[in-house]
Structures are given as C-alpha cells and as structure tokens.
A = this chain, B = another copy of it.
C-alpha cells in the first residue's frame, strides 16, 4: 500500500507541521500535539476541548476556531491522546469560565479524558464532559463499551461551540451538548478497508464484491457483510437503521459523511438517495452537510448522521463558525 508519507513514525507530527504552515490563524504545538485557537483564552467564555486518535481528519483539529472548538489534542493514528495533552489544552484555553471536554465513546478516550478532567480540576480548571455515542450499528464493539461516537461529534462540537461563543455558562453548554448527542444517530458503511501507516496495508479484510454494514470509524466490524449493494439500497439500510432508533417529531439536520476514499461525486449521489429515503419516511431535512468530515484514512464508504433539530439547535448550527474545515457567517 503506497502512502504519501515519510516514515510511519512521524506521520502525525508531519501532518501537524503542515497544519501549522497552512493555518497561521491557529496555534499548533507540534511537540505536544495540540491545536489551539490563537485568541484563547477568550475572556468570560466557556472553552471546548476535544481530541482523539489521528486518521479521522479534519476531525478534530480542523474544527478548532471561533464558534467551535477552543483546542484539540491529536493522538497517534487510531489511538487516544494522553491525559497530559488534554490537560495542557484545557489550561491553554480556560478563561476561568470552565472547559467542556467532548469525548467520543472509545475506551481509551474515555479513560484518558476522565483522568485529564481530574488533573485539570486539581489545577483549578472547572471541567464538564459530554460523551458522544451516536452510532446505532452495534451496542458494544472493539474498543467500546456501549455505542461508538462518530458523526454526531461534528454536531456536538459545532452547536455547543456556538453556545459557548454566545456566552452560555458551562452548565448550559454541557446540557446543550448532551441534548445534541441524545438527538443524534449515525450508521456507517464500508466499501473498502482502511490502511494505517503503521501496518502499511489494510487493517481488515473486506472481500471484493462485499460491503460492511455498520462499520466503525476504525474499521471495527459492524452488523453484517453483504454482497455489494447500490447507493439506493445502502441509503435505505442506513437511514432505516437510524430511524429505527430515532423517531424525529420534526425536521432533522443531516450529515452525509465520506469515510475518506469515496469520491465527492459518489458522495453527493449517495446524498440524493438519503434525501429520497427521508422524504419517503416523512422526515423533513432542515440542513444538509455533505463531505469528508469524520474519516477513516483512505476507507471507501460513507455514514449518515441525523440530528433531530429544534429552533434553538438550528440557530446555533447557523451561527458563524471559522475553522479550517467548517466556516460560514460573519
């Protein structure tokens, strides 16, 4: 498997150096692998800190900036960052108004963010946490007790980030983040395995002519393998899996997320089928985002995330955001 890298050992540091060069508006600590808003700490405002294994770019560093994350910590590929990174990030962004940790539900991340919260509180930083666990595919998985955290992370970070930006206190930012997670569900499909730099090849075996329904963002097994399906059929399965678990009483926000290796041409075509199913199921779509946001290196495939909307969540979603990967307004 050919990769555009130097050596596997320096992939994350190299990417952070490139990120720093491309985004002078952010502060990148390559040694400690944290990316911070240049204007942090922002007086009187709650700060949001997230992070996780690398290989899911633009998540999370690409979501650092006004209106979204205050800082992100990058782990090795598919490996949680360590508590020290999270504590440093929290200390760098805390204005005294407290910090919300946004944690995807993977065992390593949960343990490390828990430890980081304790350490940060010892240093006088008030910390709240929200656990993202939106993936309906499986109830437990490799690396996860309970549901995995995937596409909803983007909704949580954007919407809670907007609330913090407006000056909401920590308790309120935390409750909005929890509300977004509770209102969100995801389901992913892999057409190919992903290849990690360390392994130098596919991390699992997916035969030609088969796809994996309910795959995780590290290629963890999903619900089942089936002979290859059309975009129409995949959209039916993915949306119905989500709607089996979420019964939206009103409009939803929709993320049609590419896993990294699927061309945008295909992703938009898949998005058309997702819209078609939602219409057939009577679910109105208030906002749509199509693109590669929560990726799995070069994996081909896509995921669908729905977040039940209400007026407040839509207002916060529409609020200005200025990050490398998501920007609008202002």
Q: Which residues of A line the B interface, CB within 8 A?
A: 2-7, 10-12, 14-19, 21-22, 54-55, 57-58, 62, 77, 191-192, 208-209, 211, 228, 230-232, 234, 256, 260-273, 275, 285, 288-290, 292, 295, 297-298, 300-302, 322, 327-328, 330
Contacts and interface: CB of A to CB of B under 8 A. Distances in A.
Nearest to A266: B4
Contacts of A6: 230-232, 269, 273
B4 A262 contact: yes
Contacts of A11: 265-266, 269
Nearest to A194: B263
A295 to B, nearest CB: 7
Given A2-B208, A2-B300, A261-B261, 20 more contacts: A4-B262, A4-B266, A4-B269, A5-B230, A6-B230, A6-B273, A11-B266, A11-B269, A12-B265, A14-B272, A15-B265, A18-B267, A19-B271, A21-B272, A22-B271, A57-B265, A58-B264, A263-B297, A292-B292, A298-B300
A22 B208 contact: no
B302 A272 contact: no
A289 B19 CA distance: 10
A58 to B, nearest CB: 6
A5 B272 contact: no
A5 B268 contact: no
Nearest to A14: B269
